[in-house]
Structure 1
């Protein structure tokens, strides 16, 4: 059992993730800007926790003391304008990493995006989103000493999860993935040492999640 802070717990992936973690008997701090967003949640393993990404790292760190791992699942999805995207997907992510180091939390999993390493695929209104994800990933890998996992899912869908995925460490893949399966992969990654210090792309595939992670 782990004590895990999920930042962005009210997001489409975050909502699924906190329930999966609870079902695994992990204790979850569901980090949201407004805890009222989770008033309909009645689960003794999930604690709604006010977590405002606009605050300074020193303040955010106070919410992280005593936890085992952090998942950064917050994100604008590129739909809230470039300014908000940079403040949440980039600066919010970096401040969360800095806060983790202040609080002494080592494990940090971030939900990124496929193609963040390929600027030729940054097109249209999504360019600020990809840029934010790219530099947040780079900060995590190169400017921290955190024990990281970077999950880069393909196009997200609301289909029912299958539990069957394809994980790749190269960028020459394309495809989609159900949000439910993203959440399952993140949850499994937290309990699998094969995923530490790793970056991988995630799309729907043919392998059970645990088998795919163990082959990384």
Structure 2
């Protein structure tokens, strides 16, 4: 089993990612959290945790780590410190640690933040983090969902390098997509957008990887 460091494990999407990873036979999650009191919810279920602040050195969190999912966010409170520089710090440390794959939870619109009507600062921070990952030399997958909602998983999405419309997608389906792209045989050195759709997640990824 491969150890997967989940940055942002205490977030709404992060918790779902950790749960999915803990249920697979391929991956073992290591939940990275910022505060000591956030550890018990994971440790009580037998899930490994590590304390890590994205605004500080995080190299200690990479002990025995094979892959990384970045699902952290400041909720608009500190987009430069966390969403941009925190992501860059994690990418740089992953590079030094010879991580096999780095999966980035980004956002639709991060490819062209200047065109956005709102959240320009956030999208610019995500854009800068994504570009840093692309140029890092790491194997990566950048997943850019539309607006996140808390509906139940449908296990279906629409996926393209660039979708022609905007829309929503459940955090549950995003979490499942992020976990699936960890596999070595799918989504290597690519970025794509996802929304709620009609294609099974596995099939959508397979078709995209085959292009």
TM value normalised by structure 2:
0.93
C-alpha displacement at 1:63, in angstroms? Answer: 1.6
CA distance in 1, matches of 2:163, 2:156: 19
Question: Which deviates more, 60-69 or 126-135?
Answer: 60-69
Counterpart of 1:114 in structure 2 is 108
Query: In the alignment, which of 55, 62, 69 is matched to residue 64 of structure 1?
Result: 62
Structure 1 stretch 176-185 or stretch 63-72: which is displaced more?
Answer: 63-72
Which residue of structure 1 lines up, in the alignment, with residue 157 of structure 2? 165
Give the unaligned 5+ runs of structure 1. none
Normalised by the length of structure 1, the TM-score is 0.91
Q: What are structure 2's unaligned runs of at least 5 residues?
A: none
What corresponds to 1:99 in structure 2? 93
After the TM superposition, which residues 128-143 of structure 1 pair with which residues of structure 2 at under 5 Å, given as runs?
128-142=121-135
Aligned partners of 1:177 and 1:204 also within 8 Å: yes
Matches of 2:8 and 2:113, distance apart in 1: 26
Match of 1:150 among 135, 142, 167: 142
Matched, 1:77 2:75: yes
Tell me what 2:12 maps to. 12
Superposition CA RMSD, Å: 1.4
Pair 1:40–1:106, CA change in 2 (3 A): closer
1:73-126, CA deviations, whole angstroms, 9 ceiling, x for partnerless residues? 001232x1xxx11100000000000001111213100000001122354234x1
**CA deviations over 1:129-174 (Å, ceiling 9, x no partner):** 00100110011112x0100000000000011110000111024231
- Would you say the 8 A contact 1:5–1:28 is kept in 2? yes
Question: Offset at 1:2?
Answer: 1.6
Aligned residues: 206
**Conserved 8 A contact 1:30-1:49:** yes
Question: Hey, what does 2:28 align to over in structure 1?
Answer: 27
Q: Distance in 2 between matches of 1:170 and 1:107?
A: 22
Q: Which range is displaced more, 6-15 or 188-197?
A: 188-197
Q: Deviations over 1:32-56 (max 9, x none)?
A: 1113113233222x21210111113
> Per the alignment, in what secondary structure is the counterpart of residue 77 of structure 1?
coil
Paired with 1:98 and 1:119, the residues of 2 have a C-alpha distance of: 23
Question: In 2, Cα distance between the equivalents of 1:120 and 1:104?
Answer: 33
